[in-house]
């Protein structure tokens, strides 16, 4: 059952590209979509965390086990995770705006490869030789996926933004992993969500058209906040807790796979043979890196 729950959560997360595109069609820019995604979810997360605390839920005791950033305070770790997540959303939404949904989602999901490289730098412990295979597969797949747009400068810029977003998401994952040793999941996610909202505010404000126009724009933004940010993320967090990491790594690949299917069915974005081959290589590399 947890594995099916994980697949359902990944399938919901695969809708993010569709909702961002639909919001864009309703006049909402990529920065504004990222801001409202977090701003609408934050009050609910704060209320949920407060309710759990009133019910007696406790935060984990501070632990030095696995401490990669031992000199960092808890607020500093939360700030790292919040700012990194804001950067990830900005770049990923730009990727969705300029490139295809399938490309942007595949490229942004390279975070596990980046995390292993970061852990290598932080700990000095080299990964297993299998990771070299994962890295080469992911890079080869990314080049094939991006290569079909060679010469289309706007689309290539979107691919670049989505690829760089993986660096920010990797930093977010490390920040969350470290802060999770000191805080419970709900209060941590509530604080990160609030911090990301503040970090995204100036980008959304100076982008123009800060306030969405029309009820249909609010529907897509509410879907981003409720279905993606709360529903998909919470469901996955619950399911991963009860699964072996190797099995969870397979289930988490559902997001980029379903995203490509949604884009094909709903937006008419078809994948060529080179993109399919590159996507398969990239997903294989991500899977091996997660393991």
* SS3 per-residue string spanning the chain: CHHHHHHHHHHHHCCHHHHHHHHHHCCCCHHHHHHHHHHHHHHHHHHHHHHHHHCCCCCCCCCCCCCCCCCCCHHHHHHHHHHHHHHHHHHHHHHHHHCCHHHHHHHHCCHHHHHHHHHHHHHCCCCCHHHHHHHHHHHHHHHHHHHCCCCCHHHHHHHHHHHHHHHHHHHHHHHHHHHCCCCCHHHHHHHHHHHHHHHHHHHHHHHCCCCCCCHHHHHHHHHHHHHHHHHHHHHHHHHHCCCCHHHHHHHCCHHHHHHHHHHHHHHCCCCCHHHHHHHHHHHHHHHHHHC
Which pLDDT score, from 0 to 100, does residue 181 have?
A: 80
In terms of Cα–Cα distance, which of 201, 218, 190 is closest to 47? 190
Q: Is residue 59 part of a domain?
A: no
Residue 237, pLDDT > 70, answer no
In terms of Cα–Cα distance, which of 189, 279, 262, 196 is closest to 20? 262
Cα 58 versus chain centre, distance: 27
Average pLDDT over residues 41-51: 90
User: Which residue has better confidence, 147 or 215?
Assistant: 215
Per-residue pLDDT band for 34 (boundaries 50, 70, 90) equals: very high
Which pLDDT score, from 0 to 100, does residue 66 have?
A: 56
Q: Is residue 63 part of a domain?
A: no
The answer to which of 31-45, 153-167, 176-190 has the lowest mean pLDDT is: 176-190
Distance CA 271, CA 279 (A): 10
Cα 204 versus chain centre, distance: 19
Average pLDDT over residues 159-181: 88
User: Which residue has better confidence, 39 or 53?
Assistant: 39
Task: Note down the domain range covering 249.
Answer: 2-54+68-290
Looking at the structure of the chain, the number of domains it has is 1
Average pLDDT over residues 160-188: 87
Q: Is residue 79 part of a domain?
A: yes
Residue 59, pLDDT > 80, answer no
Residue 229, pLDDT > 80, answer yes
Q: What is the pTM of this model?
A: 0.87
Q: Is residue 16 part of a domain?
A: yes
Please report, to the nearest 10 degrees, the dihedral formed by the alpha carbons of residues 160, 38, 225, 217 taken in order.
-80
In the chain, % of residues over pLDDT 90: 33
Distance CA 110, CA 208 (A): 31
Cα 235 versus chain centre, distance: 14
Distance CA 274, CA 145 (A): 7
Residue 152: which residues within 8 A CB-CB, separation 6 or more? none
Which pLDDT score, from 0 to 100, does residue 78 have?
A: 93
Which pLDDT score, from 0 to 100, does residue 114 have?
A: 82
Task: State pLDDT tens for residues 266-275.
Answer: 988 887 888 7
User: Which residue has better confidence, 131 or 159?
Assistant: 159
Which pLDDT score, from 0 to 100, does residue 282 have?
A: 82
User: Which residue has better confidence, 127 or 291?
Assistant: 127
């Amino acid at each position: 059952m947890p594995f099916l729950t994980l697949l359902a959560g990944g399938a919901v997360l695969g809708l993010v590209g569709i909702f961002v595109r639909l919001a864009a069609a309703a006049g909402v820019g990529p920065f504004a979509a990222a801001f409202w995604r977090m701003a609408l979810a934050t009050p609910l997360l704060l209320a949920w965390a407060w309710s759990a605390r009133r019910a007696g839920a406790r935060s984990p005791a501070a632990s030095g086990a696995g401490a990669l950033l031992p000199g960092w305070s808890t607020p500093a770790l939360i700030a790292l995770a919040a700012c990194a997540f804001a950067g990830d959303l900005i770049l990923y939404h730009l990727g969705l705006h300029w490139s295809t949904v399938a490309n942007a989602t595949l490229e942004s999901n390279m975070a596990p490869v980046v995390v292993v490289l970061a852990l290598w730098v932080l700990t000095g412990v080299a990964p297993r030789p299998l990771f070299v295979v994962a890295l080469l597969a992911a890079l080869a797949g990314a080049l094939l996926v991006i290569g079909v747009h060679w010469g289309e400068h706007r689309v290539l810029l979107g691919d670049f933004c989505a690829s760089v977003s993986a660096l920010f998401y990797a930093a977010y994952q490390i920040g969350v992993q470290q802060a999770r040793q000191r805080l419970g999941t709900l209060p941590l996610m509530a604080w990160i969500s609030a911090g990301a909202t503040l970090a995204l505010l100036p980008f959304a404000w100076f982008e123009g058209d800060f306030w969405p126009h029309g009820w249909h724009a609010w529907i897509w933004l509410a879907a981003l906040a409720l279905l993606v940010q709360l529903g998909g993320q919470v469901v996955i967090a619950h399911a991963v807790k009860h699964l072996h990491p190797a099995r969870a790594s397979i289930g988490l690949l559902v997001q980029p796979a379903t995203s490509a299917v949604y884009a094909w069915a709903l937006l008419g974005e078809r994948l060529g043979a080179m993109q399919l081959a590159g996507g398969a290589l990239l997903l294989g590399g991500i899977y091996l890196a997660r393991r």
